[in-house]
Amino acid sequence: MGLKLGEDLRRLPKALFGVWQLLLSVLLMAVSVTAQTDPCTTNAAVPTEISFSTSECYFAWSQQSFVVRYTDNATVLSMVVSVTHENRWYSIGFNKNSAMVGGNAMVVWVDPTTGKPQIKQYYMSGKDASQVKIDSRIKFTQAPQAYTTADTIYLAFQIDKVASTGVSLDNQLYAYGSKGSFPDSTTNQFQQHQSMTSKLFNYASGTATNTYSDPTTLRRSHGVISIFGWGILLPVGAIVARYCKLWDPAWFYIHVVMQVMGFVLVTVALIMGNSLGDKVQGVDYGAHQGLGIFVFVLATLQMTALLLRPKKDAKVRRYWNFYHHWAGRAALVLAAVNVFLGIEAAKGGKKWNGSYGLILIIELIVIIVLEILSFVNRSGDDEPGLQLGGNFHSNYNNGAPPSYDN
Ligand code: HEM
Ligand SMILES: *[C@@H]1O[C@H](CO)[C@@H](O)[C@H](O)[C@H]1NC(C)=O
């Protein structure tokens, strides 16, 4: 025992040395990693060809390799933007808010035929490629310059702040295109970015705040929840109310539960749609929004109608029924139209149109079949032999009128 302990003690310094070495190598690795990921510490990286100097530097878009060096005063903003070059176009833009639309952008790329770097200014009046056009709203003290080194592309320009009226520099937009996709040499048009972001920048303190949040998840959730509420729960609940009265009073409870659940979902979808609207500036969703609010108001009235239902035998019950049934049907038809408008606004394409279209077609087939069955049953009251499927009216034949029918 004693001998073994002694042996262990003798081994201890060696073990400690091992731990120390491990720590040291981790530390060295961390140092070299930060040196690699912070190009601002190596100012020598700026090519001497660029005819002006800058004093500040920040890592503009950390997931990508955009680095911005700048010097700002009351009249001139000098900027050198550099990015690791991978055979695409790169861009920095400016706008008064974080949106693309209404902004001006400097786009840089290496012409694949001449091999020369190109730099051009564009104005973005919309999110369609045809709406991103060559422009000269931003005025410079001298022509913007573009340079490439083995792995980096530089765009350098000095903005004449006084002459560039109407251009706000507070928000910076960043984007880059897909590999091998460049502006056309004659029309100057180019294709949508592969990735983009925007930042609110404070030139005095040199700090950037992210202002772009990807609306994709919110947009999808809004779509799925809307389709589940407006496209499944509410219409199926209505189908139950219209065609399943033979199961009295079960149909009524199923109907109420489905409509209440559906209403909760469409309320959530409306709230999501509202915050989505703030995020997707420049997307034309006006009709979708208007119709969405309208059908929501109808749905709210349907809910209050459930609560304010007159007694079954009250005289006004007939009017209530008429109103509740027709407002409900109108809401469902308009909501279906609105789902398609939403898919259109979000450019959801075939996948979304197809999926929702399929749901709609199944529901329509069910409605048509049930409508025919109930019609045949109604007209076949005198000829029991013609009745198909369930006996829709058997419950009501005992003299009492159908309690919840039209
Ligand atoms: C032909 C060129 C371009 C097309 C077709 C285009 C198209 C689009 C589209 C469709 C969106 C919405 C994407 C979404 O919501 O998921 C968008 C967003 C955005 N774009 Fe572009 N874009 C172009 C060029 C640029 C350039 C040059 C910049 C600036 C450097 C830029 C910056 C942005 C930013 C920051 C966003 C997110 C904020 C917003 O939605 O307004 N885009 N663009
Ligand atoms: C601002 O910077 C530019 C370019 O560096 C310089 O020419 C100009 O004199 C400066 N203006 C002021 C007010 O400091």
* pLDDT score at 11: 58
Give yes or no for residue 30 having a pLDDT over 70: no
131 alpha carbon – ligand 1 mean position (Å): 11
Rounded CA gap, 248 and 310, in Å? 18
How would you label 7-24 residue by residue, b for 16+ Cβ within 10 Å and e otherwise?
eeeeeeeeeeeeeeeeee
96 alpha carbon – ligand 1 mean position (Å): 15
* pLDDT score at 39: 73
- The DSSP H or E segment spanning 355 is helix 349-379
- Record the tokens describing residue 221, joined without a space: 């959730």
User: pTM to 2 decimals?
Assistant: 0.62
Q: What's the rounded mean pLDDT across residues 328-336?
A: 97
Comparing 5 with 355, the larger pLDDT belongs to 355
53, 69, 75: which to mutate for ligand 2, most atoms within 8 A of CB? 75
* pLDDT score at 24: 57
* pLDDT score at 313: 83
- Is the beta carbon of 75 within 6 A of some atom in ligand 2? yes
Average pLDDT value over all residues in the chain = 85
* pLDDT score at 359: 97
Cβ contacts of residue 20 below 8 Å, gap of 6+? none
Rounded CA gap, 185 and 182, in Å? 9
Comparing 159 with 307, the larger pLDDT belongs to 159
List binding-site positions for heme b: 222, 255, 288, 324
- Record the tokens describing residue 317, joined without a space: 């019950």
**Residue 214's pLDDT band (cuts 50, 70, 90):** confident
* pLDDT score at 178: 93
**Residue 228's pLDDT band (cuts 50, 70, 90):** very high
Q: Is the dihedral of CA 313, 315, 318, 321 positive or negative?
A: negative
Q: Ligand 2, closest atom to CA 141?
A: 4
| Protein residue closest via CA to atom 28 of ligand 1 | 175
Give yes or no for residue 110 having a pLDDT over 60: yes
SS3 call for 303 = helix
Rounded CA gap, 6 and 348, in Å? 73
Comparing 397 with 319, the larger pLDDT belongs to 319
- Record the tokens describing residue 378, joined without a space: 């109604």
| Protein residue closest via CA to atom 7 of ligand 2 | 76
126 alpha carbon – ligand 1 mean position (Å): 9
CATH class for the region spanning 5-32+216-392: mainly alpha
Cβ contacts of residue 252 below 8 Å, gap of 6+? 241, 404
Give yes or no for residue 322 having a pLDDT over 60: yes
Please give the CATH number for the structural domain made up of 39-213. 2.60.40.1210
* pLDDT score at 60: 87
Comparing 406 with 382, the larger pLDDT belongs to 382
* pLDDT score at 339: 98
| Protein residue closest via CA to atom 3 of ligand 2 | 76
6 alpha carbon – ligand 1 mean position (Å): 70
Give yes or no for residue 401 having a pLDDT over 70: no
Give yes or no for residue 19 having a pLDDT over 70: no
Give yes or no for residue 200 having a pLDDT over 70: yes
Q: What's the rounded mean pLDDT across residues 105-129?
A: 95
Q: What's the rounded mean pLDDT across residues 164-176?
A: 94
**DSSP label at residue 140:** B
| Protein residue closest via CA to atom 7 of ligand 1 | 127
91, 130, 193, 194: which to mutate for ligand 1, most atoms within 8 A of CB? 193
| Ligand 1, pocket residues at CB < 6 Å | 91, 93, 99-101, 105, 107, 124, 127-129, 132, 173-175, 190-193, 196-198, 212, 215, 280-282
* pLDDT score at 312: 82
Rounded CA gap, 266 and 223, in Å? 10
Task: Judge whether 5-32+216-392 and 39-213 match in fold.
Answer: no
Q: What's the rounded mean pLDDT across residues 378-402?
A: 43
- The DSSP H or E segment spanning 372 is helix 349-379
Taking the domains of the chain in order of start, what are their residue ranges? 5-32+216-392, 39-213
Tens of pLDDT, residue by residue over 58-94, are: 888 877 789 999 999 999 999 999 999 889 999 999 9
